[in-house]
Structure 1
Amino acid sequence: MATGQRSKLFFAVEVKSIFPGEFICVCGSIPELGEWIPSKAFKLSQCENVENRWVGTLEVGMEPIQFRYFIGYYLESSKASSPKELVISKWETFLHPRLVLPAVETIFGSCRGNVVDTFGYNAGKELVSDGWLTGENQTEILLRIHGSPLSFYKERHQKRSYSIKVSPFDLRQREAGGADDDDPDDSQDAFMQSALPSYSSTYLAVLSNDDDPYYHEQLSYGKKFNTETDYFVFRTRSVAVEFLGFCLEVYVASDDKEGIPERFATAYALPASLPKSFGECSIPLLSRTNRPVGQLSVDYLVVRPLRKPHPKQTMSVSYARHWKKRKTLEVGHRGLGNSYTKMAADRENTIHSLNAAAEKGADFVEFDVQLTKDKIPVIFHDFYVLISVARRSTTNLDAISKDGGNDFHELAVKELNLKQLQLLRLDYFKANSEFAKRGFLKVTDDFEDVAERSPFPTLIDALRQVDQSVGFNVEVKYPMMQKNGLHECENYFDHNEYLDIILSDVLTYAGDRRIVFSSFDPDICILLAAKQNKYPVLFLCVGVTTRYEPFVDMRASTSNSAVNLAASIGILGVNFHSEDLLRDPSPLHRSNNFGLVSFVWGDDLDNRAHQEYFKKVLLVDGVIYDRTQVVPPLDMSASPSSSRTVSLEETNSLSEGSASSSSNISPAHSPNIRSSPSHVARRKTFYGI
């Protein structure tokens, strides 16, 4: 064809359902389609003749064009300095975008004139994901109601069944139906009401519904809440969260079975009620005559966009929901394995251990990431360490203890900056005299380690220095409340800031490395999915267990609850606990029915027979275990201690009989390690590329 020839490119797509105010856009590889930037995408128009069909036409050149459809809507904060923001509701996340070849498909100057696409379907596959937070002011607010949230002052009210509905409103506007508004000077306010809202509709997910835990529109008179059983999540997005309020309505069934439910009470959650990223609040319930009748307990999560420096996120590629079925992936737990309680030959969670696991054939290596006091992401499993502190000298020689005059004090990793962690004399925080006698590897040794064998490598060091052919399963640590009343680590970092720092490092330095995020904290999984669109997320689950102290959070209480959460928030899948699945594999089957990916972790996987059972019978997608079977351990006879919890008895005995350890570790970096040719093939087996 002649140089400079143009073609009239037609787009037509049908969508099953679309909410009022939403529209369809096309985002693609050419400037006319935004070059994968959603805010510059081509907006389609609703077809006048066919319901739920959206159409558009562009004049394009003859080069190949890749594109995706997405559903979006506009929100506006109504501030003079803030233009309207495009919010992505749903988008197509096939690994390979749609492709059109104008040079081949153009007939009489037109291309795709008779083609009608179906949103979310392409080449026999269906794959749609929720949109991530793309705008600077976009915020997602989750209100959660569970347990026994309703308490009333009169006992007769406590015995009734209620339905709950949540409606957002802008405090600068009159509430819908607000005939009680007594401010005659509203017209004098500087706020000018926009044609666009500052918030989205509020959708409800019932996580306790095993058949349908997804988000849906709310019913006019709310959803019936079953005390101690249900877990309601109400989700809203806003670009003016400082002015966002919620009206929570409580309905009671009419005495007439055919009658309309009656609004019994109302509660209001205002910005002052939700001051942090995460919290709980108790809101007064007011009757229709504005008399207090009780309290409604709500917990909340405020999800903000990624605000730390990072490469621009586009629609060019996403692995968040992509998974190509293959043989079970082998994942090295903390590299070559747990060294502080299982005597792996190499210290866990070090650059050397991660590289050694890759050399021994691991497809992925799993490690734990948390922040230091100076907010640097480091790789370390436990929230606490023991620090060796020398006592003051004494003239009474008989009073000098056998440990050389050292005491051990428990400190949270978050209380020490990176330099302190690398230089201080530290011990494993569950160390005791028996561990010391048996010679278990300490956090720091009595000699200076080379850099790659040193504890507390930074996340950036791992991304730069570990063999590029091995994937990373990055477990994002975040402390949780346990049912025994103990919190894993109180007064921790803000959820949003904490995760922004970790994500910034991964998105900036990961390159082509395969990454899978995971976390035991359900809220961390929610934030991971909402802040970035590239990497998949797995919800780590303890499930029903006799080994570890269970968590208070209902979403983490059982493997079935974990499946419901993963399906509801649209993440890749669940990382199950082997103990629970060996007892009852049915949650794995439910996970498969929801189209989720399933990994498994746990001490049971130290047994080769259990590994084979999960790989060849249950057909899980990945197994995470201590790879001490390919590298002989120093000693395997000791029972491992809990990896997630510590009892009061253990905590109180930590300083008794602990062996001292010392190290003066240099912060020097080892040179970058290149990918070896023998590992390149492994890289291609993940993400389907």
Structure 2
Amino acid sequence: MSVSWSKTFAAFTVAWLSALCLLPVETFCDTSYYEKYYAARRYVPLKRNAPLVFNFTLTLPDTDQLASFERPALVGNLPVLGAWQAGRAVLLNRTAILNVWSASVEIPQNSSVEYRYFAAAVGQSGAVQIRRWESHVHARTFNTTKFSGNRSDEFGLIGNERQLSRGWLQDSGNILQLKLFRDALSLEEQPEVGQEKLRLRLQPVDPKILAPILSSARANVEYVRMAYGDSTLRVQPEYGVPYATGDILMFHVNLEQLDRVAYLVEVYAEQPEEDLVRLLGYSHLLHTSFSGTEGEVSIDLISPLWQRVVGQLRIEYLHIRPMEKDGFDLRTSFANYWRSNWTALEIGHRGLGKSLTVTTNAAPLIENTVATMLASSELGADLVEFDVQLTSDLVPIIHHDFSIRVCIDSKTPTSKDDLTEVLLKDISYEQLKDLKTYQIVGNKIVEYPAHNNVEPPEQRLFPTLQDFFERVNLSTGFDIEIKWPQQRADGQFESEQTLDKNLFVDRILAVVRRYGCGRLNVIKSFDADLCSLLRFKQHMYPVLFLSSSKENVFTDPRTSTVEQSVNFAQAFDLGGVSPNAVFVKADPGVVQRAKAQVPIVLLWGSDLKDRESIDWFLQQGPTGVIYDRLDLWLGANRTSAFEAEQDLPGFFQLQCVPATKEREVNSTIESILSNVNFL
């Protein structure tokens, strides 16, 4: 009985405890964690929207076919499209249809897309060269939503405008220009007059085994033989290029790396009537011959039959490298943008005009200062022209002469012998600003106080290029002349310059890129090689080739005549030329003949001396004229051409690199997320 009672008691106890557990119990739960979690989810979805697949199809027109080593590439503003960098662009693939290429790209939803195409050459290292590109100001655009799509385009055609331009060195590659000028070739055996013609051939070869290199990103050779109206870069024929004494012949070689290519130079004699050629001599040219940016090399030509020297060939060279850093991207270009009504422009020479060295009719403000540029802008000048050089610490400054005169002794100079000439390239900018300088004007010595001692700052000598960009109204265009001493016909140089020309141009372009956007800029120089550097290091602004007031004044034959300057500008896709007005005065047809070959023609010179002469030269149809004493000859109440148009100068803001957009921060969301531990 005791056992039965024990079992009954145990069962009763279990039942009582179970019933007790079913009674409502007050509980305490901290819900703040969950409230924060679900509140955050309302703003931050846990699952991102999937990207959209867009198919891009590109058709190549019959007029612009690709070389065997080229392929189309797609580049745009989004990271998946390369962010305007050629090295990160999307390469297109061939389709089964002739001249049609395609690529598929995953693009984020709700994106604003800008893009364009270019012809790319991809090297063995993966570096991408820009061979030709769609250089329109505006790229193609579209917006994505939540659906995939297709884009079909024709290479070079954006909107209704067809435009393809030669590429430049964005961040990789090299260009080697080999120049044969005047009597570059001498032979023991001259070809028979009237029966044989000479031909020159440049063949890239491997520097180790001397085997020929096929046209590729590693090395591709083009040439130009200057001829008026027909100066364009071409692929050289199988047995080279026709050559005669006095020709201006240039080879233009695109390279992946300079030290991975050597060259076989061959000279042939052609018998046109028999359609025969025979090899007269050859030589190999190694990359070690090209030390520095520019120079000259002479090679002996070896007879393939007699294995002895039968001639010599003198070659000048220019090695073009990409900008050191922060180069120009593929976002836009103003190098070929010139409105039809931008003509008959009036440009102030060094601002209001020359003042430092002239004995009569000097401008009222000191030339090449901020003050004279501001005054020119107030008068309504379309552009102002000024001169840019580098100091020893590579600061781009504004000054015309290559040197300054200083007095070493503390006494006041009384004659020219008391003054010492100092080259700007040999003095730092900080030193320059502390120097009192002197000019010899006629028989007088004129003193100019040191830069740091002049007030107001606008009247100081030696302003920087950055000062001009920051201080002068954006509605005033800039005609920027880059100074470099030329070799005269007698063999003497205008001045000494020891700075590397690639470095020289890089430092100036870096300032132009950072501070110069937002206005019309043209860049020019008397130095043809410097123009090549300016052209193939950037694509944003047009480059103009200046020519002297006299023919054959310099040794470089590209500067010998206006016609030769036009040939050079046409060959290398420059924006135009700037000849001296004296040649137009002698032959007014020069302007129209030049404009038939190049877009921009700016006249300069002392013949533009009063309103009557200025108007006469404008009637000849140049793009613009550059003259002194703007304060006397510019019409009253004049408005700059770039201020008169409603969209200017704002339209030029497209040149500027867009500011990086920072992510918008919502303080409420950030506060919630800071207290949430996501599992």
TM (normalized to structure 1)?
A: 0.79
2:58 counterpart (6, 9, 12): 12
Q: Aligned pair 1:467/2:473, yes or no?
A: yes
Q: 1:162 corresponds to which residue?
A: 198
Structure 1 residues 527 and 406 mapped into 2: Cα distance closer, same or farther (>3 Å)?
Answer: closer
- 2:174 is equivalent to residue 139 of structure 1: yes
The partner residue of 1:339 within 355, 358, 361 is 355
Query: 1:624 maps to what in 2?
Result: 626
1:365 aligns with 2:380: no
CA deviation after TM superposition for structure 1 residue 210, in Å: 1.3
The answer to whether structure 1 residue 683 and structure 2 residue 649 are counterparts is yes
The answer on whether the counterparts of 2:69 and 2:217 sit within 8 Å (CA) in structure 1 is no
Residue 216 of structure 1 corresponds to which residue in structure 2? 234
Which residue of 2 is the match for residue 602 of structure 1?
Answer: 605
- Report if aligned partners of 1:540, 1:575 keep a CA contact under 8 Å in 2: yes
Aligned pair count reads 591
Q: CA deviation at 1:402?
A: 8.8
Which secondary structure state, in structure 1, belongs to the residue aligned with residue 419 of structure 2?
strand
Which of these residues, 450, 453, 460, is aligned with residue 454 of structure 1? 460
Alpha carbons of 1:40 and 1:446: their partners in 2 closer, same or farther (altered >3 Å)?
A: closer
1:380-391 maps to which residues of 2 (within 5 A)? 380-390=399-409
Distance of aligned partners of 1:265 and 1:348 in 2 relative to their CA distance in 1, 3 Å threshold: same
Q: Following superposition of structure 1 onto structure 2, how do residues 226-237 of structure 1 map, counting pairs within 5 Å?
A: 226-228=244-246, 230-237=247-254
RMSD (Å), alpha carbons:
3.2
Give the equivalent residue in structure 1 for 2:525. Answer: 519
Q: Secondary structure at the match of 1:539?
A: strand
218, 238, 244: which one aligns with 2:255: 238
What is the aligned partner in structure 2 of residue 432 from structure 1? 442
Q: Does 1:56 align with 2:95?
A: no
Alignment of 1:163-182 (within 5 A): 163-176=199-212
Distance 1:8 1:487, change over 3 A: closer
Cα displacement string for residues 13-71 of structure 1 (whole angstroms, at most 9, x for unaligned residues): 21422111100111123333223222222211223232x33233445446443221100
The offset of 1:154, in angstroms, is 5.1
In structure 2, the residue matched to 1:541 is 547
Q: Is the contact between residue 127 and residue 321 of structure 1 (CA under 8 Å) also seen in structure 2?
A: no
Q: What is the DSSP-based 3-state SS (H/G/I as helix, E as strand, rest coil) of the residue aligned with 2:288?
A: helix
- Match status 1:556 vs 2:559: yes
8 A contact 1:168–1:199 mirrored in 2 = no
The letter for the 2-side match of 1:314 is D
Q: Where does 1:49-448 land on structure 2 (aligned, <5 Å)?
A: 49-50=97-98, 52-60=99-107, 61=109, 63-76=111-124, 83-100=125-142, 110-112=149-151, 115-117=152-154, 119-136=155-172, 138-153=173-188, 161-176=197-212, 199-207=218-226, 209-228=227-246, 230-254=247-271, 257-289=273-305, 290-307=307-324, 309-310=325-326, 312-328=327-343, 329-340=345-356, 341=358, 342-390=361-409, 403=414, 407-428=418-439, 431-433=441-443, 436=445, 448=454
Quote the offset at 1:541 in angstroms.
Answer: 1.8
> Aligned partners of 2:513, 2:566: CA distance in 1, in Å?
27
Decide whether aligned partners of structure 1 residues 103 and 574 sit closer, same or farther in structure 2, where only a CA change above 3 A counts: farther
Separation in 2 of the partners of 1:339 and 1:406?
A: 23
Q: Which has the higher contact order (CA 8 A, sep 6+)?
A: 1
Match of 2:69, as an amino acid?
G
Residues in 2 aligned to 1:565 and 1:174: alpha-carbon distance in whole angstroms: 32
- TM-superposed CA distance for 1:678, in Å, is 9.2
Classify 1:70/1:252 alpha carbon distance in 2 versus 1 (closer, same or farther; 3 Å): same
What letter matches 2:102 in structure 1? V
For the residue of structure 2 that corresponds to 1:301, the secondary structure is strand
Instruction: Report the TM-score when normalising by structure 2.
Output: 0.80
The SS at the match of 1:603 is coil
Change (3 A) 1:687 1:153: farther
- CA gap of 1:583–1:688, structure 2 versus 1, over 3 A, is farther
CA deviation after TM superposition for structure 1 residue 197, in Å? 5.9
Distance 1:679 1:353, change over 3 A: farther
Indicate yes or no: 2:620 matched with 1:611: no
Shift of 1:163: 0.4
Q: Name the residue aligned to 1:32.
A: 80
CA distance in 2, matches of 1:683, 1:410: 41
**SS state of the match for residue 630, structure 2?**
coil
CA contact (8 A) 2:262 2:286 kept: yes
Change (3 A) 1:402 1:322: closer
TM-fit CA distance, 1:388: 2.3
Residues 346 and 382, structure 2, Cα contact 8 Å, conserved in 1: yes
- Give the greater-gyration-radius structure (CA): 2
CA shift, 1:346, in A, is: 0.5
- Cα deviation for residue 245 of structure 1 reads 1.2
Q: List gaps (5 residues or longer) in structure 2.
A: 1-48, 635-641, 656-679
Tell me the alpha carbon deviations over residues 116-153 of structure 1, each in whole angstroms, 9 at most, x when there is no partner.
51x223333232222111234x2110001121111124
Q: 1:678 to 1:166 in 2, by over 3 A?
A: closer
Structure 1 249/403 Cα, relative in aligned 2: closer, same or farther at 3 Å? same
1:649-677 deviation line (CA, Å, top 9, x unaligned): xxxxxxxxxxxxxxxxxxxxxxxxxxx99
Aligned to 1:389, what secondary structure does the other structure show?
A: coil
Q: Structure 1 residues 521, 536: CA separation in 2 closer, same or farther (over 3 Å shift)? A: same
Residues 14 and 155 of structure 1: CA distance in aligned 2, closer, same or farther (over 3 Å): closer
- 3-state SS, counterpart of residue 608 of structure 2: helix
Which residue of structure 1 lines up, in the alignment, with residue 673 of structure 2?
none
Distance 1:681 1:72, change over 3 A: closer
Tell me how far apart the structure 1 counterparts of residues 572 and 599 of structure 2 sit (CA, whole Å): 12
Q: Give the CA deviation at 1:679.
A: 10
Q: Given that residues 323 and 688 in structure 1 are in contact (C-alpha distance below 8 angstroms), is that contact kept between their aligned partners in structure 2?
A: no
1:655 corresponding residue in structure 2: none
Distance in 2 (alpha carbons) for counterparts of 1:53 and 1:73: 18
Distance 1:448 1:510 in 2: 26
Deviation at 1:453, TM superposition (A): 0.8
Give the C-alpha shift of residue 442 in structure 1.
5.2
Distance 1:446 1:478, change over 3 A: closer
Q: CA deviation at 1:471?
A: 2.3
For 2:319, what is the secondary structure of its paired residue? strand
CA contact 1:139–1:303 (8 Å) conserved in 2: yes
AA of the residue aligned to 1:145: L
- In 2, the alpha carbon distance for the partners of 1:598 and 1:534 equals 19
For the 8 Å contact 1:332–1:624, the answer to whether it is kept is yes
2:186 corresponds to which letter in structure 1? S
Deviation per CA, 1:485-513, whole angstroms, max 9, x where unpaired? Answer: 32111343211111111111221222423
Instruction: Report the Cα distance in structure 2 between the residues aligned to 1:622 and 1:631, rounded to whole angstroms.
Output: 15
Does the 8 Å CA contact 1:343/1:441 hold for their aligned counterparts?
A: no
How far did residue 448 of structure 1 move? Answer: 4.0
